[in-house]
Amino acid sequence: MGDGWETRRTRGEHVDWAIVKLGARGTIERVVVDTAHFRGNFPQKVRVEGLNWERDGEPGNEEGGWVELVAESKTGPDALHEFVAMEQGKVYTHVKLVMIPNGGVKRLQIWGARAAS
């Protein structure tokens, strides 16, 4: 697969995740996880979390303060999966996509509004 993010298959309790810094601080209204072209290797489930990071450097997976935006949800092959964010109105700087247990995602879209400066 040359277009998207595909992780190595694993067994057991392992999950794969990616942290993405938003282009600007803002609120999040909805999340789209696109599994286009991933037919047999899509993640069984995904979870999306948000964080308002106000310290130096970049946050890690183990940082406290991650807020669940999309609860663990089933996905399917070659499709757009749209979710309404659970914690609307809060401001975020980063999102974390968790693929359970692993698989491939073509695109992650975060929709919302830029926070007032």
Does position 68 have pLDDT exceeding 60, yes or no?
Answer: yes
Length of the chain as a residue count: 117
Give the mean model confidence (pLDDT) for residues 38-64.
Answer: 94
| pLDDT tens readout for residues 25-45 | 999 999 999 999 999 899 999
Does position 23 have pLDDT exceeding 90, yes or no?
Answer: yes
CATH number of the domain that residue 42 is part of: 2.60.120.260
* Rounded Cα gap, residues 53 and 59, in angstroms: 7
Q: What is the DSSP string of 45-106?
A: EEEEEEE---SSS---TT-TT-EEEEEEEE--SS-EEEEE-SSTTS-EEEEEEEEES--EES
Total number of domains in the chain: 1
pTM of the model: 0.92
Contact 62, 19 (CB under 8 A): no
Does position 116 have pLDDT exceeding 80, yes or no?
Answer: yes
Contact 113, 30 (CB under 8 A): no
What is the dihedral sign for C-alpha 51, 87, 45, 33?
A: negative
Does position 1 have pLDDT exceeding 60, yes or no?
Answer: no
Angle at 14 between CA 101 and CA 78, to 5 degrees: 15
Does position 53 have pLDDT exceeding 60, yes or no?
Answer: yes
Copy the structure tokens of residue 104: 């491939």
| Domain limits for position 55 | 5-114
